[in-house]
Structure 1
């Protein structure tokens, strides 16, 4: 945008925006003629995708703020009214977390969204007070609402916020609704002054406490060994990571039979604090994020640490064995929790062929191996619970019992009510498993080893490179696919995908950007949906060709919300030493041979 266009964009913003803080930001930039910053604020509009909206809280169309939330909500409810029968009467569920910066907060965004919906003639179920994210899809299901909306930035940095949408099936939106909503937002940018009035006396929804009660009853129903839970002296240390999870995690823990004194809370991180003062990054997966909880556990004599991310839809855990703390990876937790669901399902006497589980395609293949050996149904999906949730619904419609789904980014779905990841139900299941194992005299780590002995050893190596230039990211993947051929020749027919990695022959390749799957000749069409808007290539270095009995599988993809090129690698085989050695070689070669990280100036994680 040139200077005149930026001046016009800023003037239009000031015509519409009624928030004193963000108005002042733009007025200052206009007065100082800071066109570089004005360009950052107005040259783009925050993109509405399958994850909704997520960005830093600041003034301008590129960021999260009051005006963007109002405009997004106008487009959302108008689109849904056109595509969901009886949408306005069915209503919208709205929840929020504790995110806040000067002049903006999750609560304020939620209130403005509720104002918009009411003025558009919608019934609004607005939660009173802070809730964790799973409450929104849970309530959307229970109330048969047409939409769910959660204002949260989950585990993103403190300055960020987000706008997470659930469709009428209580699952995050997938194509084509994301594009449809985005288009409707672009047609809904004008804003009436009346939506800014937060002093209106709209009737409050009085169902918050009842919905919380129903949620906790559902969480408690996942535990079936209440006597053992009550009798156990195992002490768990819990951290809410400065988020909203504490009341839900505490109530859920007590509801399945355990004693209050068995739940030792890290008080420094117990209460919601939008500054996240004790962690560099509010994500339990990040290195060092559990240090405070581990120190607390050592003082409390606890050998198990439990953690939720700030909006409590993710779950992480660690165990102390022989004096050393082990933080379980997302895939290890997925295997442990999936195996626990399987064990309890077997105890129920239900037919094993009716059980179903899912995992995202970038997650470990171990659960798939368990399914083949045990005889239950397993399906993988594209990355994200928007796909896992829809697959769970599909399995239920086909007559299966889809009782567990997960993705490696510490997200776990239990049961058939919350069709999204839920860190509290994962905590319930994990705690009951830990109690049962202790009764048998086993640690969780020893139990994981026994699963490896039964189903084979699997280990992952996941990370990312940072690339802040989208054009450079495109060039990296274009070169990987097509070599140095002219851009006019880029099509599936001109693919020149690599044939080796780290000197090992590639035995399988799938590109879900252009639509190619080497395992499906003669069409080579992939079974999973393609998405030309993102880069995603999966591969395998097989064991039969190299003759070492070790297979390494992997996926490299771009992130939809962060400037990252992520990779997910897994080695499997009987010999742990060989598995770990080959996995390390492939990991190094992925960065140097395929992504050429030094040549392209990528930053390591």
Structure 2
């Protein structure tokens, strides 16, 4: 952005930004930030804040709370709400009458952002259902479905750092938005940047609606309907440790366990993390997946004699768990391991209904383990793979339901799980309650969860995963890395180059590839026809390459007489993150021999960074 355009953008911002007057005067800090940057002549920082607008992408907006159009603040919230309302009015029949559900978590500015959002829609004549108090994210799509609302907006940044906030959007089908709505809303926002004075003092509700507690009870009724053993759960022999990770989930988790019939004395709460705290003081990152995030909960469990730890992320749409092993060490389950366990429990729940197994359906994202797919092949139920993210999973679940299936379970490896057919989005509360019931049922047979997981591997094949990332803070370098990988030329533009230019690798770690799929340019070696068009959607705005190394006949080390064994199949995905400066990779190996599965997985992981990403040569940071 040249200096003249930058100056104009700054002046437009200061012209529009105002001091809001509720619940106390605020927003002066955002004006002060920009005025200070202007007076100090910090052009570099102004360029960062004004050269682009915060992207309306996966499920909406998410970013740091700072002044400027590139960040989350009152003005960008107002502009986003105006654009969302405009687009919905043009696209959804009867949108204003159907209305919008607005909820928020406990983060800094969440309540204010929610109030501003509700005010924009009220001013435009919409019916607004403003959920009172702190709610977990699944309450918004659930409430929107119960009320047949046209839209839902949840103010949350999920498990992001304390400096962030977000604006998560659900469409009229009560599922996260997918194309073309995301780009349509983004265009409408660009057409809705002018904000009048009245927007800063949003009107309060005038219709007397106060149905939040009724909706929460309806949600709990749905949760209770998922239980298989409510009558016997009261005799649970286990003690569970729970942490909501300084978030909003604890009241919902406790009520869910009540709905399942579990006594409160079977739950021990990590007091230091029990109350909502937007600063997340006891963890570096409020994400149960991050190293060290569960340390406090594990120590608490050791003190009170609990053998299972349960954790939700701050907005309680994700779930994580750990189990104490016989040797006293803790096993923290990965998202894929939890997916296998909860998937097996979904099969059991479906069997209890007496419905044909052919009517059962499950989904998993393409970067998740193929364990569910293996279960589906053996048991005979339907399985669908989707792109990464619950916006894709949720819409696939809806398609399955429309086709007459019962989609009881879906997950992605980033500890997101959908259970039941009511909410087609990840829900950490239903996952927690079902996990507790499964652990309790297994304990009656003296079977720990880890042992049950081993039995699933025996039944459906051993699957081992290795997921991580490299940090690349220069987007241009990331583009060059992927262009080199797919075209053999770092200067080829992946966003426009045709598939005919692809020169994708044919091997990795010395093993020939049996499949290679590029979901950026649009190529799938396994697809029929000369175009090799992939079944999954193509996204030119993100990098994603998938591959498989086939099951091969390899000589077993030390085998007498050159004895042969079945080989190990490895599947993988390397992609960019939509919200962080990361090149992520997801690897899975499966086979009969666990030792060889792990060995080949390590070999391929090392080769991926060395051969394909050239991590050292490109100066990529490791976590």
- TM-score bucket of the superposed structures, by smaller chain: over 0.9
Shift of 1:331: 0.2
- Number of residue pairs the alignment of both structures matches: 601
Shift of 1:508: 0.6
Residue 197 of structure 1 is aligned with which of 194, 197, 201?
201
Deviation track 1:308-352 (CA, whole Å, cap 9, x = no partner) reads 000000000000011110000000000000001101211221100
* TM-score for both structures, normalised by structure 1: 0.98
Alpha-carbon separation, structure 1, partners of 2:310 and 2:205: 41
Alpha-carbon separation, structure 1, partners of 2:41 and 2:497: 42
Residue 557 of structure 1 is aligned with which of 556, 571, 575?
575
* TM-score for both structures, normalised by structure 2: 0.95
- Does residue 289 in structure 1 map to residue 289 in structure 2? no
Shift of 1:203: 4.2
Q: Is the 8 A contact 2:120 2:202 kept in 1?
A: no
After TM superposition, list the pairs within 5 Å mapping 1:239-278 onto structure 2: 239-278=243-282
Alpha-carbon separation, structure 1, partners of 2:343 and 2:323: 18
In structure 2, stretches of 5+ residues that fail to align are 19-26, 555-564
The equivalent residue for 2:382 is: 377
Shift of 1:521: 2.9
After TM superposition, list the pairs within 5 Å mapping 1:46-57 onto structure 2: 46-57=54-65
Alpha-carbon separation, structure 1, partners of 2:63 and 2:520: 25
The equivalent residue for 1:5 is: 5
Q: Is the 8 A contact 2:497 2:521 kept in 1?
A: no
Alpha-carbon separation, structure 2, partners of 1:347 and 1:89: 40
SS class of match (1:581): helix
After TM superposition, list the pairs within 5 Å mapping 1:301-380 onto structure 2: 301-322=305-326, 323-380=328-385
Shift of 1:199: 6.5
Alpha-carbon separation, structure 2, partners of 1:56 and 1:132: 20
Alpha-carbon separation, structure 1, partners of 2:491 and 2:246: 51
Shift of 1:486: 6.4
Alpha-carbon separation, structure 1, partners of 2:387 and 2:203: 43
Shift of 1:526: 0.7
Shift of 1:544: 3.1
The equivalent residue for 1:391 is: 396
The equivalent residue for 1:420 is: 425
Q: Is the 8 A contact 1:127 1:205 kept in 2?
A: no
Shift of 1:24: 1.2
The equivalent residue for 2:133 is: 129
Q: Is the 8 A contact 2:244 2:250 kept in 1?
A: yes
Q: Is the 8 A contact 1:149 1:166 kept in 2?
A: yes
Q: Is the 8 A contact 1:515 1:526 kept in 2?
A: yes
The equivalent residue for 1:474 is: 479
Alpha-carbon separation, structure 2, partners of 1:375 and 1:463: 32
Deviation track 1:277-323 (CA, whole Å, cap 9, x = no partner) reads 00001000001100000000011110000000000000000000111
Shift of 1:50: 2.7
- Does residue 14 in structure 1 map to residue 18 in structure 2? no
The equivalent residue for 1:587 is: 605
Residue 521 of structure 2 is aligned with which of 485, 492, 514?
514
Runs of 4+ in 1 over 6 A off after TM superposition: none
Q: Is the 8 A contact 2:318 2:427 kept in 1?
A: yes
Alpha-carbon separation, structure 1, partners of 2:62 and 2:288: 19
Alpha-carbon separation, structure 1, partners of 2:86 and 2:376: 43
SS class of match (1:49): coil
Q: Is the 8 A contact 2:487 2:503 kept in 1?
A: yes
Deviation track 1:471-524 (CA, whole Å, cap 9, x = no partner) reads 111101110001038638942112111011011111111111111111113231
